[in-house]
Structure formats: structure tokens, C-alpha cells
Amino acid sequence: MAKKTFYVTTPIYYPSDRLHIGHAYTTVAADTIMRYKAMRGYDTMFLTGSDEHGQKIQRKAEEVGKNPKEYVDEIVETFKSLWKRMGIEYDYFIRTTEERHEKKVQGLFKKLYEKGDISKRKYKRWYCTPCESFWTDRQLADGEEKLCPDCQREVEWVEEESYFFRMSKYADRLLEYIKTNPDFIQPETRRNEMISFIEQGLEDLSVSRTTFDWGIPVPFDERHVIYVWLDALSNYITAIGYETDRQNFEKYWPADLHLVGKDILRFHTIIWPIILMALDLPLPEKVFGHGWLLTKTGKMSKSKGNVVDPNILLDDFGVDPIRYYLLREVAFGTDGTYSTEALIQRINSDLANDLGNLLNRTISMIDKYFGGLIPSPGPEEEVDNDLKQSALEAISRVEENMENLKFTFALEELWNFIRRTNKYIDQTTPWLLAKEESKKERLGTVLYNLAEALRIIASSLKPFMVEAPYLIGQQLGIEGLIREAEWEDLSSWGVVEAGVKVSEARPIFPRIDMEEYFSELEKREKDSGPEQKDRGNKDIKGEKELISIDEFAKMDIRVAEILEAERIEGSNKLLKLQVALGEERRQLVAGIGKHYQPDELPGKKILMIANLEPARIFGVESNGMILAASNEEGDLTLTTIEKDICSGSRVK
């Protein structure tokens, strides 16, 4: 019996410049639903790519003295590099400059022409080059200036001979389809917008241009190039074998899900379905128009200088925190505001405190009480059954939300179970059970259940994250189980085998010092120029507060000997230090690079706070903080010791 198929697409992105975090938002969502469906046993097809033709690209290339193909080749490589870093596992990356795509688009155009749905006549209309959209006077934004209603940029008047596609012929048929298939356009608010747009009347669409030549030539009239949207939208069928590979095409078409931003929903829910109707092809099952990921200054735009570069975020925070934040912070379908403060808070609270702490506690207790071997479970109590039931209910709710593209709610359900598992530790008090030999069997049950809960958690994270599930598996000694896990395995309890050796507990999501991060970011922006400054960030400043003697007593201040020092690339202040605390070796990040050269530091004995939670600073893990003094003029000196004493000694 053939597998069920699931075909998901992103828009093919316009290579006029590098991608920003908003593009990553769409693509991570598509990758996540694809991974989830694959775990459910579907034969998946995931398509993304680049939309490379049009007047906008031609003008961009001319501005930098390149031909359009040279220009897009360079930009497209940055697309592929970003998707690799983001862990995006697409099946096919289509480029509209591919010869086979161009030939299929020409064939499609000819078929519509021969059918009588395309004809040539004179064209007069307002045109927005950035949006590649035509507008009538009544559609333009109000005001003295002629502005595009979508992007608010100035439009230009175009008069030329053009081929027209008979959109109006299919308007009533499309309207009826949308009304009788409520899931076709989602969310519902977007569906209502499209219904209203169609009811106002559809005009025929200009589908060729003669004022520029960077496009696919009309096959029977090479003075014309095919309108970029007809070219671009066709990628969803040309990529999977339309007209060349019937078996593959029929296997995956119609697409199960087109994921698009709300700004291009009209093209995907009006123009594209009508093209398909004219070709006598079935319509996609669902088109989901999600909201924008905004900054504090509005929609991301290079001209506004508010673009958030995902590559910088990946450098600073890593791939899984970025994927988690994009899926968790904003309800999919609505607009949301990107904030680095919120990202760091999610990392520290959800990832480090909730998930990281659960893993660390579990591994440490198995190591301490059972020599690092996962114990066998013994008799159960009500609290154990409650944990199992919580796992089943959580997975069921995650599944329900994923089927409806409610990524935020799916992750919230999963995190509720993570918090419930942390509570289970507090309820069962393994540290007290360990004090009585008679309760050793009970302790084994508790720790086995924690390992099993973490197996389910790690496996259910596979659609959302690309590294953490396997890092959890490595520490538990069950990486193979996690890699092979299918969705149905999450409803079983007792899969982990007793006797498996766990590895050393290590933080998979080190905490980030927010104040330190923004301080270093500010300095980095000063060094790199104004283009990096507006990333939705702000400085975090607070008043110094008094602490009690008890709070001070919590600090573990030690003598440390600096063994090695080196500069951190991209920072003129930060040094990465390797220090010795007696027999223990630590890595620290210290902001002393303007005052000390790396080669003068080895051998110095300094004071450091040894019991700080790990933090990631400028992308480098730091396990402690050295003590230094500075004056108002900015001079800085390390706090050293008067007499020689062995490293690791405590300050009392």
C-alpha cells in the first residue's frame, strides 16, 4: 500500500537582497510541518526556491554593474547557505532561471493562449515595480501621490502592448469554490478578505511585458516576456514534473499546503487558482497566509534599516533557540514583533530553566545514585501513573495543534509536560529516597520514569529543533532511539531499556547574560557601522541594588590561574580564557581585551566567581566571571592576589 503524501511549499523568495528573519519564519514553519508529517509516516515533498525574473531584479543588477544572472547567482547562494544553517531539509530548491522550468512555463502560456484564455491588446495601468503588481486608479492608496496599496511606494504609469489572461472568466467559479471549501484559505480572516476582493470584480490580468527583457520570452512572440507572477506561481507544479513526469506529478499534486505571507496571499488565492482552473488542474488543499514578523519600527525593510539578519542571530544564539523562538513567540497567522530581549528570555526561561534543568537533574541523579546506569522501574504509585497520563494527553494535544498549524500552542502543550515532569521530581524527592537503602527500588522507578519522559520530550521536539533532541539522546545514551522515533512511538511508555549508560551532564542551552549581550552588541554595532544598529534591540540598564549578607554568601569566589587566552573574532573587547581551579579547568569570556593582550595573561592568578550559571556571550560559552576594577576614565585592572596560593582556593 502506497504511503500517504504531503506536499508543502514556501513562496519562492525574490533574490533582490539577502533574506531576513521574516523569510526564515515562513521557511522554519514549512520545515516543521514537513518533519512532523514525516514522523507520522507520510511521504513528504518540501519545495522552496528563488523567483529570479522581473524588472526589479534587472534594475538591481544594473545598479551594481552586473548582468541579472550573475547578480541572482550570488544572492541565491546566500539563500541556500542560510537554509543549511537553519537545518531546513527541503527536497527541491527551484530556480525560475532553470531551463526546464522556463520551457514548462512557455508551454503553459501557449496552452492558455490556444485555449483562448490569453489574448493581446493595449495596456494602460499603474505599476508597482517592487511588488510586480498592476493597479487601477480606484485601487491606489488615498492621497495626492500615486502609491501602491500594498507597499506604499510610488507607482509608475505604464502604457504598452500586452497579453492578457482572462481572470474575469473564472471569477464566479473561484468565488463559489472558496465559499464551499472553507479550509482552502486560512486563517478565516484572510479568507473573508479574499472573498470581498473577488466580489468587487476581477479584471483581466496583464501577463507579459515589453519594457524590459529579463524574463521568460513568450514562445510565439519574443518581443514579450512572461509576467513574473505567472512565471513564479507555476513553480509549484513545474518542480514536481508537470508535463514531463506524470507519475511524480500525480503523486504529489494537488499540494497539501502553500505557506505564504499575507502580503502575497491575493496572488496565491486568486491568480494562482484561476490559472489552475484554466489548465483543468485541481486546486491546492490549503493556502495559509500568516502574518508578518515586525520590528519596533514596523515591517522589515532594507530601506527602513530595520532588517534582522538571521545569520547574526545564528552566530550569537545557535539554530535551535532561533527555531524555537520563531515558532513559540507568535501565534502562527497573526502579526508579531521580533525582540532580542524576548528571544533571550525564551532561551533562559523555557530552554535553560525548564528543559535544560530537567535533563541536567535527571542525568546527575542517575550518575550519582546508580553509577550512571538507567535503573529498572519497580512498583508504581499514583504519582507515576499521573505522569504517564500527562504524557499521553500532552502528545495528543500537540498532535491536534500541529494538524491546525498552531505551532505556538503545540509547543506550549509540550512545555506544560516538561514543567509537569520537573514537578514530578519535587513530588517524589529522589534525594530523600536515596538516603534509605529500603527505598532504592522506589528511587529506580522515579529515575527510570524521568528518563522515559525525556525520551518522549526529545522525540516530540524533532519537528521543531534540529540539534537538541539528539543532544538529549546522547546524554541519556539513547540517541538511536530518538533518531528512529516515529510519532506513534510517543504514545508508548517503557521504551527505554534499563542498564543504558548515561553520559556526563552538560548544559545544552546555557543561560545568556542579557546585560552583557547588549553591551557587546552595542560595541559591535559601533565597529560595524549603522547598517547593523536597528535589530529590534535596546540597552538594558538598571539601578544597583543592595544585597544582604546571605545573598553575598551564596557567591563562590575562587582563585583561578589563567592557562590560555585568545581574542574572540569580531570583538575588540572580549577574550576567551582557559583557567584552572585546582584540578578543574574552566572556559570564561572576559571583557578585558582593550586592557590586556592575550599573551600577557597566562600564569596570572586572579579572582573569579565560580558558581554562576553558564552563559553564552558572543556565541561562546562562559562558565564563571573574573573580577576586575575600573575607574571613571575607563582604566581597568584585574583583581589579583597579594601572596601566591594554589588555584581553586576559596575567598572567605
Number of domains in the chain: 2
CB of 608 within 8 A of CB of 638? Answer: no
CB of 69 within 8 A of CB of 53? Answer: no
Residues 558 and 469 in one domain: no
Residue 180 lies in a domain: no
DSSP letter for each residue of 502-570: P-----SS-B--HHHHHHHHHHHHHHH-GGGS-SS------------HHHHHT--EEEEEEEEEEEPTT
Residues 345 and 487 in one domain: yes
Residues 344 and 412 in one domain: yes
Residue 623 lies in a domain: yes
Q: CATH no. for residue 470?
A: 1.10.730.10
Edge-first strand listing for the sheet containing 584-590: 584-590, 575-581, 557-567, 605-609, 625-626
Q: What are phi and psi of 167, to 5 degrees?
A: -60, -40
Residue 168 lies in a domain: no
Site of grid cell 531576513: 20
pLDDT of 153 reads 82
pLDDT of 538 reads 37
Residue 90 lies in a domain: no
Residue 361 lies in a domain: yes
Residues 476 and 564 in one domain: no
Question: Which of 453, 468, 491 delimits the end of a domain?
Answer: 491
Residues 476 and 563 in one domain: no
pLDDT of 539 reads 32
State how far the alpha carbon of 251 is from the alpha carbons of 34, 36, 562, in Å.
16, 20, 62
What percentage of the chain exceeds 90 in pLDDT?
64
Residues 374 and 432 in one domain: yes
Residue 97 lies in a domain: no
Average pLDDT of 390-400? Answer: 97
Question: Which of 422, 456, 491 delimits the end of a domain?
Answer: 491
Per residue in 425-434, pLDDT tens? 999 999 999 9
Residues 353 and 481 in one domain: yes
Q: What share of the chain is helix, strand, coil (3-state, %, to 5)?
A: 45, 20, 35
Q: CATH no. for residue 551?
A: 2.40.50.140
Per residue in 587-624, pLDDT tens? 988 888 878 888 889 988 999 998 887 877 766 788 88
- Nearest residue to 276 via CA among 120, 165, 164, 187: 165
Joined grid coordinates for residue 475? 546524554
Residue 255 lies in a domain: no
Residues 364 and 432 in one domain: yes
Per residue in 215-239, pLDDT tens? 999 999 989 999 888 999 999 999 9
Among 196-200, 261-265, 281-285, 627-631, name the most confident range: 281-285
Give yes or no for residue 403 having a pLDDT over 80: yes
Containing domain of residue 361, as a range?
Answer: 339-491
Per residue in 489-518, pLDDT tens? 999 999 999 999 999 999 999 999 988 888
Per residue in 297-333, pLDDT tens? 666 655 555 678 899 999 999 999 999 999 999 888 8
Interatomic CA distance for residues 418 and 426, integer angstroms: 13
Q: Where are the beta strands (DSSP E) in 220-263?
A: 221-226, 257-261
DSSP 3-state assignment of 241?
coil
Residue 534 lies in a domain: no
More confident residue, 151 or 409: 409
Residues 343 and 486 in one domain: yes
Question: Which of 491, 526, 557 delimits the end of a domain?
Answer: 491
DSSP letter for each residue of 604-651: -EEEEE--PPPEEETTEEE--EE-EEE-TT--EEE-B-SS---TTPBP
Residues 346 and 471 in one domain: yes
Residues 563 and 457 in one domain: no
Per residue in 566-578, pLDDT tens? 988 656 677 899 9
Number of H helices and number of E strands within the chain? 23, 25
Average pLDDT of 360-389? Answer: 96
Give yes or no for residue 633 having a pLDDT over 90: no
Average pLDDT over the chain, rounded to an integer? 89
Residues 487 and 344 in one domain: yes
More confident residue, 453 or 519: 453
User: Quick one: pLDDT band at residue 77, thresholds 50, 70, 90?
Assistant: very high
